[in-house]
Amino acid sequence: MLYAIETSGITKRFDDVTAVNKISISVKPGELFGLLGPNGAGKTTLISMLSTMIEPSGGSALVWGYNVMKDADAVRQNIGVVFQDTTLDDRLTGRENLDLHGRLYGLDGKTRKERIKEVLSLVELTERADAIVKTYSGGMMRRLEIARGLMHHPHVLFLDEPTLGLDPQTRMHIWDYIKKLNKEEGVTILLTTHYMEEADRLCDRIAIIDNGEIVALDNPQNLKNSLGGDVITLGLENPGDVDKLCNSYQKDGCANIITQNQNEVFITVNNGERQIPHILLLASQAGIPIISVSLRKPTLDDVFIHYTGRAIRDKEVSVMEEVGYKMRSRRK
């Protein structure tokens, strides 16, 4: 079977930092595949290798059957990339940005004109096509970048944090466009995100990545089902009591899974409604005040905490930023 993306132990090291550590994944043609993880987990580094912008330190990768190191030009002809930061020329119109991209990929005038019309319609920017890009909103710029990435009919589209910094309403609109192009264009999409809802809503399968390694991989529902039962969340008055409470529950054997995060304890149990009185009794016997209790079905947040021991934080420094800082410091 020809995979759209196939990696085998792909690795990237920057001096003493291993940004991606022996990752092996296979993405089927037409699949919408997600890389879910915090900033600094290695998501952008992995996409940078797959899109031939940086070379791997080890392992190998094929994109649409082409080796990212030996067949870099062929890889580039078959992919589109939407970066985290905008790379549009804001002094040109939307149409001119698309036309320039088409020229760079060798599309003739007639093909460029037809394709520009198609992709503008796909992202609903036809009426703003001749406006200067610097007058666009953030969401419109994202949509134009997605349209640009589709200009040359790529087989694989890389979306690196496509809704980062957008408001919730605009983010949901971008989700609709991503799902639409995946189905209507038939393009394979590899999407990176640290938004749980985004991964849950969009992706056929999700690879949870942390510290440069894949720690879990499956479709969203199976990942949530892997925890089993219901999740009881206990809010503690004193964060110092978290370990003590977890030990009490472990000794009692009342929970399938016990995880923690700062001043909260997450307990996965069967028949959660019936278990709450016993859970609270154990806390009371241990002399630990509980200030809040909630019951719900497992989410991707719970899955991430289970596999990594912590929640995703928005304000984390990326590995690439850390490496860049170290290199700048050395030059000084």
Query: What pLDDT digit, counting tens, does each position of 54-87 carry?
Result: 999 999 999 999 999 999 999 999 999 998 888 8
Whether residue 38 lies inside any domain: the answer is yes
pLDDT at 210 over 90: yes
Question: Residue 309 falls within a domain, yes or no?
Answer: no
Contact 37, 210 (CB under 8 A): yes
CATH number where 70 lies: 3.40.50.300
Given a contact cutoff of 8 angstroms between Cβ atoms, the answer to whether 201 and 177 are in contact is no
Record the pTM: 0.82
Token duo for residue 41: 């987990």
What pLDDT is recorded for position 257? Answer: 87
242 and 121 assigned to the same domain: no
Boundary-marking domain end, from 158, 193, 223:
223
> Residue 22: what pLDDT?
96
**In the chain, how many domains are there?**
2
In this structure, the answer to whether residues 277 and 175 fall within a common structural domain is: no
Same domain as 182, residue 66: yes
Instruction: Tell me the C-alpha to C-alpha distance, in Å, between residue 75 and each of 5, 48, 155, 230, 261.
Output: 11, 12, 10, 45, 42
Co-location of 251 and 114 in the same domain:
no
What token pair was written down for 4?
């759209």
Task: Tell me the per-residue pLDDT of 222-236, one tens digit each, with 9 for 90 and over.
Answer: 999 888 889 999 999
Shared domain check, 280 and 134 = no
Q: Does any domain span residue 160?
A: yes
**Do 217 and 247 belong to one domain?**
no
Model confidence over 150-191: pLDDT tens digits?
999 999 999 999 998 888 988 898 999 899 889 888 899 999
- Do residue 23 and residue 41 come from a single domain? yes
Q: Which residues pair with 189 in a beta bridge?
A: 32, 157
Q: Is the separation of the CB atoms in 138 and 116 below 8 Å?
A: no
The answer, yes or no, to whether residue 328 has pLDDT greater than 70, is: no
pLDDT at res. 313: 55
Checking if the pLDDT of 284 tops 90, the result is yes
314 falls in which pLDDT band (50, 70, 90)?
very low
In a domain, residue 325? The reply is: no
| pLDDT, tens digit, 9 for 90 and up, residues 81-136 | 998 888 899 999 999 999 999 999 999 999 999 999 999 998 899 999 999 999 99
- Look at residues 59, 44, 148 and name the one whose alpha carbon lies nearest to residue 96: 148
Distances in whole angstroms, Cα of residue 275 to Cα of each of 240, 246, 252, 253: 24, 15, 12, 12
Output the average pLDDT for the chain. Answer: 89
Same domain, 131 and 11: yes
**Is the confidence at residue 324, as pLDDT, over 60?**
no
Which domain CATH number covers 290?
3.30.70.980
**Is the model's pLDDT at 331 over the cut of 80?**
no
Same domain (yes/no): 276, 151: no
Per-residue model confidence (pLDDT) at position 181? 84
Reference 212, options 16, 60, 61, 10; nearest CA is 10
Pair 193, 244 in one domain:
no
* ∠ Cα 200 205 207 (to 5°): 90
Token pair belonging to 203: 């992706």
* 51 in a structural domain: yes
- Structural domain includes residue 9: yes
Same domain, 22 and 95: yes
> Do both 170 and 29 map to the same domain?
yes
Helix intervals (H) in 166-259 = 168-184, 196-202, 220-225, 242-252
Q: Is residue 102 part of a domain?
A: yes
Q: Which helix (H) or strand (E) holds 210?
A: strand 205-210
Element (H, E) at 96: helix 94-104
Domain enclosing residue 258, as ranges: 228-297
318 belongs to a structural domain: no
What is the pLDDT at residue 312? 66
